[in-house]
Amino acid sequence: RILNHSSTPTGMVRRLSVAVVVANRLSTDEQGQSATVEISPAELEKLNLLVRDAIGFDAARGDRVTVVSADFRPVESTEMDMSAPGFWELPWFANLVKQSLVGVGVLIIIFAVLRPGMRTLMQAQISSAQQATPRALANSRDGGVSGEVLHPAIAALGAPPMAGRMGFEDKMTEVRSVVDENPQRVAQVMKKWVAEENGKS
C-alpha cells in the first residue's frame, strides 16, 4: 500500500513592475497667470523610495519602480443650467397633483357623507327588524300570519298549534293520529259535545 501526499505551493511573486505618474505643481505668476512647475529630480527620488518601501521592493528579484511627473489636463468646471424648469413646472407633475386632489376629495365624500348615511340606514333597518320580531311572534302564537285560529274541536283533542294553518286533509290526518294515541280523551270530548248539544236542544 502506497500513500502519496501532494502539496500545492502557495503563490509567489516573481517580479514587480510599478509606474507612478505625479502631477506637476500649479503656480501663479505675478500677472496672475497659472502655470505648471515640474517636480525636481530630488523630490521624484524621494517619491521613488516611498513607493519602494510601500510595495516591498526587492532588487534581487528584478523589481522595477518608475516615478515621473507630468501635466494633467485641468478639470473643466461645468455650470448647471439654471434656466431648465424644475420638476414642479413639468406637465406630469401638474397631472399628478390633480389626480391626488381628486382622490382626496373622494375619500372625504366617503368618510364624511356616505359612511354616516350608511350607518343611519343600517340602524333604521335594525330598529325595524327589532320592532317586527315581536309582532311576528304574536302572529305565530295566534295561529299564523293569515289570522287563522285553531278550531275548538282540534284544540280540544290536543292538536298542536300548527294545525290551525293546515289544510283539511292535514287536519283530518292530525285528528286521526290524536284518536289513535289517546282514545280515552277522544271519548270524553265526544261525551262533552253530546251533552252540550242536548243542553242546547
DSSP secondary structure, 13-55, as one string: ----EEEEEEEPEEEE-TTS-EEEEPPPHHHHHHHHHHHHHHH
Q: What is the pLDDT of residue 171?
A: 61
| Sole residue written with cell 413646472 | 89
Which helix H or strand E contains 178, and what residues bound it? helix 168-181
pLDDT in tens, 65-82: 999 998 887 766 566 666
Q: 169 pairs with which residues across the strands?
A: none
Residue 5 lies in a domain: no
- What is the spatial distance between Cα 96 and Cα 46, in angstroms, rounded to a whole number? 63
Confidence of residue 163 (pLDDT cuts 50, 70, 90): very low
* Residues 47 and 64 occupy one common structural domain: yes
| pLDDT over threshold 50, residue 51 | yes
More confident residue, 12 or 14: 14
Read off the C-alpha cell for 101.
386632489
Containing structural domain, residue 113: 87-141
Asked which of 120-124, 129-133, 193-197 is least confident by mean pLDDT, the reply is 129-133
Q: Which of 43, 70, 97 is the last residue of a domain?
A: 70
In whole angstroms, how large is the CA radius of gyration of the chain?
A: 56
The total number of structural domains in the chain stands at: 3
pLDDT in tens, 113-129: 777 777 777 777 777 66
| pLDDT over threshold 60, residue 98 | yes
Give Dmax (Cα) for the chain.
156
More confident residue, 126 or 146: 126
Q: 34 pairs with which residues across the strands?
A: 28
| pLDDT over threshold 60, residue 89 | yes
Residue 65 lies in a domain: yes
Residue 173 lies in a domain: yes
Q: What is the pTM of this model?
A: 0.33
- What is the spatial distance between Cα 155 and Cα 141, in angstroms, rounded to a whole number? 14
